[in-house]
Structure 1
Amino acid sequence: MTKLAPGPADEPTLSEFDGVRYLHFGSEWVQGAMRVKRPAELVLAYTQQMMGWLLFLEPTRSDTLGFMGLGAGSLLRFAHKTTASRLVTAEWNPAVTAICRAYFRLPESKRSVVDHEDAALWVARPENVGRFRALMVDLYDAEAQGPVRDSLSFYQDCYHALDDIGVMTVNLFGDHASFPKNIKRIGQAFGGRVIELPEIDAGNRVVIALKGPLLDVSVATLLDRAHAVERHYGLPAVQWARSLLSQTRSTGRASF
């Protein structure tokens, strides 16, 4: 294992073990990872779950996907390789972007833009209203003690930044005091349309919030979509779908 000397809080540092490079913000907490030989692979289970919106939407060339919090660029690299959509990232710290360019193969493409701005200010921009098909929100600092942006107004702005039909995923910690208040505020902003993916070993709990007409589909249709996502994107989507179905009444249909 190799590791850079620890730096002050929020200063990006990195370590490497068994072919995987990790990003830290001046602490032992992992803020992102990249398998050096397969950089587009989503190494961490929670980053795979952050793509859970694919169960409900298939991105197209005309769509724009938004990322709040660059981390090690994992979601950006994956989306850049697997979709043809436009990609816009809000990252407040230019040093994070710089280390991603130097060590984490940040995509350099006309389809990808990184804005250096506080996520709460960025998502509230008038030009971002209705702009995004999907938003992936992963906002943590060096202490990783709950999201650094989690107010009701922030989640309301996320709702307004989505297209008429859109999905947001948020990385939370299931056993942390911040979890219930975030679930409540996301629910308030999205009219209660919030579902939870299964908690992973590290304690991350990804939630999905939906905007648009109520989705009422047969169990078979949802599982068919999950199998398609699994085949095309290499993600454990069938497991996700079964977890979501377990949260609904067993009627042969599922409503989200």
Structure 2
Amino acid sequence: MAHNLIDVSERAGVRYLHFSSDWVQGAMRIQRPNALELPYTREMMAGLLLREPPWPREALLIGLGPGSLAKFIYHQLPATKITVVEIDPQVEVVARLHFGLPDDPLRLRVLIGDGAAHMLAGDSRYDYILVDGFDKKARAGVLDTLPFYQACRSRLSDSGLLAVNLLGRERGFQASSQRISDAFDGRALVFPSCDSGNTIAFAAAGDPVDSSFDELIRRADQCRAASGLNLLPTIARLQVARRYQGDRLTI
């Protein structure tokens, strides 16, 4: 079982989670505890641009951190059941004590264990798998291997999507994105980096993602009205980077 020295700090109305280093594992604005404070966490929810609601019904999170993604899904997507796999039990305790992680095991289940082992051993299927697991040295370890990504593929539903937080400025980023592409037979797309340097990769194995940018904008407007999450900056960066065929985004 992995254990980290966990620090909680506050600055300018924002509470931060650290693993015994300056590297931020997550953040929460105290006045908006259920919003997504860090840009990369907002980008990890860009799957809402790629599928029509009500989606996802079942979400799996590998890595809890302060619980930002789990809380957002819990509060803003009430039809979604959430499973979180977190390797360090201390992280769950801190998320509940300091970051307001809800205690509702019927909708939000936290399993203490190894995320890769969970993927390789089970057979439950999920609509959205979000992978955001790193140690105190920003290493993903076995969570960034071809067998792990292949296991993720096998656990996706027909409408399923995988979202992976890649540290785009780190060495090995290109190899990581290639492993995801290989596991999904090329059906993967790396979004342009956020200002933080985090880069989010998406992959699909079942129903195709095939949306015009007008459709993406419509879904972004719906998402913002329903949850306050603004994904229009993501669309703008995709347009600048031209990560699409013609006027359509396809995976």
Match in the other structure for 2:89: 94
In the other structure, the counterpart of 2:50 is 56
Shift of 1:58: 4.3
**Percent identity of the aligned residues?**
36
Task: Determine whether 1:168 maps to 2:162.
Answer: yes
Q: Report what 1:135 is aligned to.
A: 129
Cα drift, residue 115 of structure 1: 0.5
Give 5+ residue unaligned stretches, structure 1: 1-8
Which residue in the other structure is 2:210 paired with? 216
Encode CA deviations 1:222-255: one digit per residue, 9 max, x unaligned.
3222222232232232222233342124x34332
Q: Judge conservation of contact 2:48–2:55 (CA < 8 Å) in 1.
A: no
Using the TM superposition, give the Cα deviation of residue 77 of structure 1 relative to its aligned residue in structure 2, in angstroms: 0.7
Q: Are the structure 2 counterparts of residues 147 and 179 from structure 1 closer, same or farther at C-alpha, using a change threshold of 3 Å?
A: farther
Give the stretch that moved more between structures: 35-44 or 210-219. 210-219
**Secondary structure at the counterpart of residue 189 of structure 2:** strand
SS in 1 for 2:144: coil
* Larger CA deviation: 186-195 vs 69-78: 186-195
In 1: Cα distance, 2:26 partner to 2:189 partner: 24
For 2:232 and 2:48, the matched residues in 1 are separated by 12
Change (3 A) 1:24 1:238: same
Specify the alignment match of 1:38 in structure 2: 32
> Match of 2:244, as an amino acid?
T
Counterpart Cα distance in 2 of 1:28 and 1:255? 37
C-alpha distance in structure 2 between counterparts of 1:242 and 1:185, whole Å? 27
The one-letter amino acid of 1:191's match is D
What is the total number of aligned residue pairs between the two structures?
246
Counterpart of 2:109 in structure 1 is 113
Q: 1:199 aligns with which of 193, 196, 203?
A: 193
Separation in 2, partners of 1:248, 1:190: 18
> Is contact 2:18–2:25 with CA below 8 Å preserved after alignment?
yes
RMSD of the alignment, in Å?
Answer: 2.0
- Indicate the SS of the match to 1:200: coil
> Does the CA contact (< 8 Å) of 1:226 and 1:237 recur in 2?
yes
| CA spacing shift, 1:252–1:171, aligned 2, 3 Å | closer
Q: Cα–Cα, structure 1 residues 36 and 178, in superposed 2: closer, same or farther, change >3 Å?
A: same
Q: Which runs of 5+ in 2 are unaligned?
A: none
Mapped partners of 1:138, 1:147: distance in 2: 12
SS in 1 for 2:229: coil
Higher relative contact order (CA 8 A, sep 6+): 2
Kept after mapping to 2: 8 A contact 1:12/1:23 = yes
1:122 to 97, 113, 118: 118
Query: Aligned partners of 1:94, 1:182: CA distance in 2, in Å?
Result: 27
In 1: Cα distance, 2:44 partner to 2:228 partner: 14
For residue 4 of structure 1, what is the aligned residue in structure 2?
Answer: none
1:252 and 1:165, CA in 2 relative to 1: closer, same or farther beyond 3 A? same
Contact conserved, 1:198 with 1:205, CA < 8 A, in 2? yes
Q: Is the 1:11–1:26 Cα contact (8 Å) retained in structure 2?
A: yes
CA drift of 1:213 comes to 2.8
